[in-house]
Structure 1
Amino acid sequence: MHYCHYLDKKSTAYLSDAIVKHYMKSPEYTEIVIVCVGTNRYSGDALGPLVGSRLSERFDGHRYVRIYGTSEKPVHALNLLKTLTHIAKHHSRAYVIAVDACLGQFYKIGTLQVVEEPLQPGGSLDKQLPPVGSLHIKGIVNNYGPLNHKVLEHTSLTFVDEMVAVVSRILVKACQDIAPRLVSAEQQRSELQAPNHLSSAT
């Protein structure tokens, strides 16, 4: 796990670099898919959709980056499985990054974590949902406790939006660093699949 407080000036460079290094462990992907999990019902759970909306504007029409989960079209418990099924069908060779808010210990509030394993969404609310992504980034928005629905509901939206800005910058930088490698990998595959015009004469 890699982590940094969102106010740390090194957070964007440090956490985006962690994502790129994870990608480089098996760079066989053809595109990047970012799944931003959450809902606008609770301010504390809005981090994912708000990040998704920012990234959708930034990567609108981008050849190699796809965003699922925005404020207008959130990805949440009710449609998560359907979304993942769609991604598996239409983006079978994508490097999938999940984004979500989470609750944690009081002294960790404001921390951003890049975790090199799939996201297990809904953990703070004791929901059993399918895992998402090859890697995930999450922001600790409030304190974990016995009334997590109420905690999420009363989390400061201003605070969440400040974290959203940093998470968005991290993901933009990571995508910008990974995208040229995706192009290179695509070109290499095309060369390998091209017919061999130098076959020996018989």
Structure 2
Amino acid sequence: MQEPKEWPAAGLNRRRLSGGELEAFFAGIRTRHIHDVVTFLCIGTDRSTGDALGPLVGTKLTELGFGQVIGTLREPCDATNLEQRMAEIPEGRVIIAIDACLGMSDSVGYYLVSGQPLQPAQSVGASLPEVGHYSIAAVVNVKGPKPYWTLQMTSLYKVMQMADEIAGAAASAFG
């Protein structure tokens, strides 16, 4: 994916943010792009607690009135249909990719944000195409030897709390 020409080289590296810092990340995107060109690509499945973060965020964004959202609880965007769902996005859209991930214990509950594409399913060793111009990877649990099991056993409360933080920050920044 080509990055828009107006993106500065600085600030594109991955940063770890708390939920309270997400609004500033979204506000930075808003200053570079009008709301009408932004598409939220919320990746995950409703069949795994930890991996439901993306569809939960997508559903919340839709309920908040965001029109350009791909990946909800009703119509998830997951490993089986990611490329097909990406093809639905019109040319010229700025994509903010959102997905759950596993990480170090001191990063659980934080967000890895970037002005670069996201590599979906990296935590579980799958190979999917990079997506997004901007990305948010929510660290929902600790990475271990059995990533699918870990995602399945992730706290629903934690996932819902993080989905609320992402959707709330987006609504505040773009509202």
The share of aligned pairs that are identical, in percent, is 33
The residue type paired with residue 119 of structure 1 is L
Judged with a 3 Å threshold, the aligned counterparts in structure 2 of structure 1 residues 31 and 142 are, in CA distance, closer, same or farther, namely same
Q: Could you say what the CA RMSD is over the residues aligned between the two structures, in angstroms? A: 1.8
Partner-residue secondary structure (3-state), 2:86: helix
Structure 1: runs of 5 or more not aligned: 177-202
Deviation at residue 137 of structure 1 after TM alignment: 1.1
Q: Which residue of 1 aligns with 2:26?
A: 19
- Is the helix fraction higher in 1 or 2? 1
Deviation at residue 66 of structure 1 after TM alignment: 0.4
Number of aligned residue pairs: give it: 162
Q: Which residue of 1 aligns with 2:7?
A: none
Give, in whole Å, the separation in 2 of the partners of 1:169 and 1:113. 17
The residue type paired with residue 93 of structure 1 is G
Q: Which residue of 1 aligns with 2:16?
A: 3
TM-score normalised according to structure 2 size: 0.85
* 1:75-133 CA distance string (max 9 Å, x none): 0011000011111xxx2121110111000001111112221101110101111111111
Q: Compare CA radii of gyration and give the structure with the larger one.
A: 1
Deviation at residue 153 of structure 1 after TM alignment: 0.6
Residue 37, structure 1, aligned to residue 43, structure 2 = yes
- Higher mean alpha-carbon deviation, 114-123 vs 29-38, is at 29-38
Q: Which residue of 2 aligns with 1:74?
A: 76
Give, in whole Å, the separation in 1 of the partners of 2:34 and 2:74. 32
Structure 2: runs of 5 or more not aligned: 1-13
Q: Which residue of 2 aligns with 1:129?
A: 128
Give, in whole Å, the separation in 1 of the partners of 2:61 and 2:160. 14
Q: Which residue of 2 aligns with 1:48?
A: 54
Give, in whole Å, the separation in 1 of the partners of 2:113 and 2:37. 20
* 1:45-79 CA distance string (max 9 Å, x none): 010000111111111xx5xx401100110000110
Partner-residue secondary structure (3-state), 1:42: coil
Partner-residue secondary structure (3-state), 2:130: coil
